[in-house]
Every structure is written in structure tokens, then in C-alpha cells.
Amino acid sequence: AVRGQASFAPGAAAPISILFGGYVAPAAGGVLFGATHDRDDIGLDAREADHRRNLAALGAVLPALAARLELATLSAHVGVRATTADYLPIAGQVGDGLFVLTGLGSRGFTLAPLLAEHIAAVALGRPSPLPAAIAALVDPGRFAKRAKRRPGGQR
């Protein structure tokens, strides 16, 4: 589990969306930016300290925008991200007609569209947009395959 808090500044404006280790994006009614990344924390409470961390990360890249947003009354979206033991997402078929896309951690914004295309291609029997080596990295069966290769079948 990885807790994340994104900050929202209502009424503010950002010129464009930018990824920089964090992100900032214009959103309906304001600006969304963040987010924190705290392993083994499942708290869903909004934290002022996390707003400050998000502003500091934004300030390192866009100091003028961060200075404007420091004056805003911020609200928070807090969630717990699903991750996997190897920190790679799971994307593919797990049963007869059942496909999953999970374990994206903090990479959902960037990986979900491509992995959704991969799943659609697999489901339809079409070529995947992923090279075979990359598809193997996100294959749902990878943990079982690794366990079989280890002495005693341990993960």
C-alpha cells in the first residue's frame, strides 16, 4: 500500500499539464497538483504537511505557480494506491474471459492508457502495442512462473 495525497486549489489556473516527478494539471474549477508517495501508510486523512510537500515539489519546477497556490485554500484527495511486490503493474488475462489492470502504484496517469490498449489487444486476439519482453513484465502469471523457477517453488 502507498498512500498519496493530491492537493487541489479551487479557482486557480495552470497554463498546461506538466509531469516532473509530481504533476500539475488544470482541472474543473481549479488546479490539481501533487502527489505524495508514502509506503506502508494507509491513512485517508488530509494532511497539511502533505500540502506543504506538494507545494515544495511544485515550487522546485514552477516557483511562480507554487507561490500563487500557497495563498489558496487547498483541499485534498487522498487515496491508497495498489502496488505489487515487484512494483510493476499487472495487466492481462487471469482467467477465462477475465482481464485485470491493477498495481499501477503512482504511475496510473502515465501507464493506464497504454496498458488498457494492451489488454484490449490481448482480449481481441490482436497484436499488443507492447513488445513481448515488456508484456512479460506485466503479465499476471509472472509471480507463479518465478516461483516455479526457484528451488522449493518459493517467491
Average the pLDDT over 10-26 and give the result. Answer: 91
pLDDT tens across 72-104, in order? 999 999 999 989 989 899 999 999 999 999 999
Q: Are 23 and 110 in contact (CB under 8 A)?
A: no
Q: Are 105 and 81 in contact (CB under 8 A)?
A: yes
Average the pLDDT over 34-42 and give the result. Answer: 93
Q: What percent of the chain has pLDDT over 90?
A: 79
Q: Is the pLDDT of residue 153 over 70?
A: no
Prediction pTM value = 0.74
User: DSSP string spanning 65-99?
Assistant: HHHHHHTS--EEEEEEE---TTS--EEEEEETTEE
Q: Sorting pLDDT into bands at 50, 70 and 90, what band is 154?
A: low
Q: Sorting pLDDT into bands at 50, 70 and 90, what band is 106?
A: confident
Bridge partners (DSSP) listed for residue 95: 98
